[in-house]
Structure 1
Amino acid sequence: MSKGTVKFFNDAKGFGFIKDADSTKEYFVHINGCKDEIQENDEVTYDLEEGRKGLNAVNVKLA
């Protein structure tokens, strides 16, 4: 499991981006990949899964 911070999340559209804690990489997250409700600046843990346009954060939970 990776750790990171929610950089951006749009509740209305159901997607956002998580910035990885150990690198400068950012990963797309869709509301379907969230176990908890998340908001911008939340500390989260997540797994990565290959999506259509690269790696996506899935199993996202509040840390």
Structure 2
Amino acid sequence: MPETYLSDLQLSARYGVHRTTPWRWYNDDETFPKPVKLSPGCTRWKLSELETWEANKASSVA
């Protein structure tokens, strides 16, 4: 199955945060997935890595 990639706008909509917040998470939280630069001006996050990060965050809170 092909990998799905999300932009910072899509991440902000997914998590209900400001567009710059995923970048802050990336800089401040070493567990947050690293973005992938697909081309100049096109940086995305892998959905599969985000889902793993979400699951790990949920299990650490529970």
Q: Please confirm whether the aligned pair reaches a TM-score higher than 0.5, indicating the same fold.
A: no
Q: Which has the higher strand share?
A: 1
Give me the TM-score of the superposition, normalised by structure 1: 0.30
TM-score by length of 2: 0.31
Q: Where is the helix percentage greater, Structure 1 or Structure 2?
A: 2
